Amino acid sequence: MRREGLGKNKRAAPLAAPAAPFRLDENRLTLRVHVQPGARQTGWAGRHGEAFRLRISARAVDGQANAACVAFLAAAAGVSRARVVLVQGARSREKLFRIEGASPKRVQSLLEACSL
């Protein structure tokens, strides 16, 4: 029986490029965020894989950390909390947020702050 695999002359398929931690469409910003609840201070902490790392002082109890994330992102983007939506990851550390209506200038400063 012959085994399939990488022989001398075969090459491995190239790895896919990592997904960007954000996507910007017209008036909508989508952010992939890795949340660390229960931190001493709330703020950006660089990158975590394919996401921005956000430390939140609120605990992950009864949605407090999610509400704190929404409030922090709304303040950073200069929009109301109603314009920040948790799209995916309500019970996970990996979350996807959508921010609508932020000005291009605020989006640029937000992305610069996320990237550290």
pLDDT tens-digit profile of 15-74?
444 467 888 888 899 999 999 999 999 999 999 989 999 999 999 999 999 999 999 999
Specify if 99 maps to a domain: yes
Specify if 9 maps to a domain: no
Neighbours of 53 (CB within 10 A): 19
- Name the packing angle between helices 104-115 and 64-77 (round to 10°): 120
Parallel, antiparallel, or unpaired: how do β-strands 84-88 and 51-56 relate?
unpaired
pLDDT bin (cut points 50, 70, 90) of residue 9 is low
pLDDT bin (cut points 50, 70, 90) of residue 115 is confident
Q: Is 87 helix (H, G, I), strand (E, B) or coil?
A: strand
Specify if 87 maps to a domain: yes
- pLDDT score, position 116: 62
| pTM of the predicted structure, to 2 decimals | 0.81
Specify if 5 maps to a domain: no
What residues make up the domain containing 63?
34-115
Specify if 65 maps to a domain: yes
Specify if 21 maps to a domain: no
The CATH number assigned to the domain holding 107 equals: 3.30.1200.10
State the total domains in the chain.
Answer: 1
Specify if 73 maps to a domain: yes
- pLDDT score, position 110: 87
Specify if 2 maps to a domain: no
